[in-house]
Amino acid sequence: MNDATHNLPLPDKPRLVIGDGAIDRIGELAIELGAQRALVITDPHIVAAGHVARAQRSLDAAGVNEQVFDGAIENPTTIEVDRAVEAARGFDADLLIGLGGGSSMDTAKGCNFVLTNGGRMSDYWGVGKATEPMLPLIAVPTTAGTGSECQSFALISDPQTHVKMACGDAKALAAVAVLDAELTLTQPRRVAADTGIDTIAHAVETAVTLKKNDASWALSRRAFALGSPALRRVLADGDDLAARRDMQLAAALAGMAIERSMLGAAHACANPLTAEFGVVHGEAVGAMLPAVVRFNGELAECRAAYAALVGGDERDAAARLAGSVESLLALAGVPRSIAEHGVSENDLDRLAVAAAEQWTGTFNPRAVDAGVCRALYESVLTENDRRAGAARV
C-alpha cells in the first residue's frame, strides 16, 4: 500500500494491487484466487491498445486458461450482459476479469450477477438482491475514472428505455482491483477529461450525502485532495505518469466512498441527460455539479464539508467549490450549459420528472423533487446566458 492510502479505512475487498506494470501480475493474481479459466471482459479499443494481449500473456504464463469477450460498449445494456453471460457459460469460466473503462467493468459485474444467480439483470436492480455466491472478479481500470473497480454496482441500461439500472450487491465487489497507471496513458484526452470530472463529482457528492459516515468522509476528502490537482496536471500533460497515478488512485478511493455513502442530486439529474440526449456521463454530471453544490450549500453542514475540501471560510465555501469545479470544466472543455447538448426549455419538465425518480437522488442532503430538479436544470440551461449578461453589465 503506498503513502496515499495510508491510514484510510480500507475494506477487505477489493484488494488493491498498485503499481506501474501491475497488469503483468494478473496471472499470478488469478492463481491466488484459485482460478483456472478466466474470461476477460473488455471492448475492442482496449484490445487495440494492446492491454488485453498483455493480460493474456500473463495468464498464459501462469497456466491459466483464458478467453476474451470484447463486446462491452459505452453505457452497456442487458444485451451486452447477456452476451457476456453466454461467453462465460460456453467457456465454463471460474474467474471474470473486467479490463477497460467503467463499461467493461460494469459488464463484467452484470455478467457475474446473471451467470451465478440466474434470471435477468432487472432482477438485481437495487441492493443486495443476489442470494448465491458469485465468481471472483479482477477489475483492471484503463480510465480514471468511474471508480467501478472499487464499488459493487453494475450500471446496466435497459436497451428499450435507456434507463440505467443500478444493481449492487457486496458479493459483486471485485476481489482484486489492479491499479496500473500506465494503462491510463492510452486514454484519449476527451475520455481522461470526462472520467476525471466524474471522479471529482464522486468525491464532492459523497462528501455530503445522507449516508455519509467517518469512513466515506475520509475517502471523499482524500479522493478530492488527490484528484483535483491531479486532473489539472493530466489535462496539462497527458504523459505525466505521476499525475496519472494520483488520478487513478483518486478514482478508486472515490469509488470506495460511493460504496459507503452513495451519491446525490448531480447524478440524479445527469442520468436523464444521458438517457434522453446521449450526454456522456462525466459531462452530464459535470454540468450539473456546480448548481447542486450551490443548492446544497444552503445547509451549514454542507458548507462545512465543502470548506474542508477547498479550504477557507465556511460561509462562501459552496461558491468557491462550485467555482473550482467550473474552472475544471473549462480546462476539460466540458460544456457548462446543457443547452450545448441540445436541451431546451421545453424539455425541462420531462427531464425533471425523470430525475426526481432517480434512486441516487434520495441520498442528497437536501430533498430533491421534480420542482427542485427543474430549477437545477434551468439554472444550468441558462448558465451561459446569465454569465454573458453579467459580463455585459
State the residues that interact with Fe ion by CB under 5 A: 198
Cell 459483486, residue?
172
167 is written with which cell numbers? 444493481
100 is written with which cell numbers? 477497460
By beta-carbon proximity to Fe ion, the closer residue of 80 and 198 is: 198
242 is written with which cell numbers? 505521476
Minimum CB separation of residue 147 from Fe ion in Å reads 8
By beta-carbon proximity to Fe ion, the closer residue of 94 and 198 is: 198
How far apart CA 62 and CA 60 sit, in angstroms, is 5
By beta-carbon proximity to Fe ion, the closer residue of 87 and 173 is: 173
By beta-carbon proximity to Fe ion, the closer residue of 198 and 246 is: 198
Which residue in 325, 336, 326, 316 sits closest to 379, CA to CA? 336
By beta-carbon proximity to Fe ion, the closer residue of 70 and 198 is: 198
How far apart CA 256 and CA 253 sit, in angstroms, is 5
Q: Terminus-to-terminus CA distance in the chain, angstroms?
A: 53
Do β-strands 95-100 and 37-41 pair in parallel, antiparallel, or remain unpaired? parallel
Q: How far is CA 348 from the centre of its chain?
A: 25
Minimum CB separation of residue 191 from Fe ion in Å reads 14
By beta-carbon proximity to Fe ion, the closer residue of 40 and 156 is: 156
Minimum CB separation of residue 246 from Fe ion in Å reads 19
Which residue in 244, 338, 214, 247 sits closest to 286, CA to CA? 338
Minimum CB separation of residue 155 from Fe ion in Å reads 9
Do β-strands 15-18 and 37-41 pair in parallel, antiparallel, or remain unpaired? unpaired
How far apart CA 104 and CA 155 sit, in angstroms, is 11
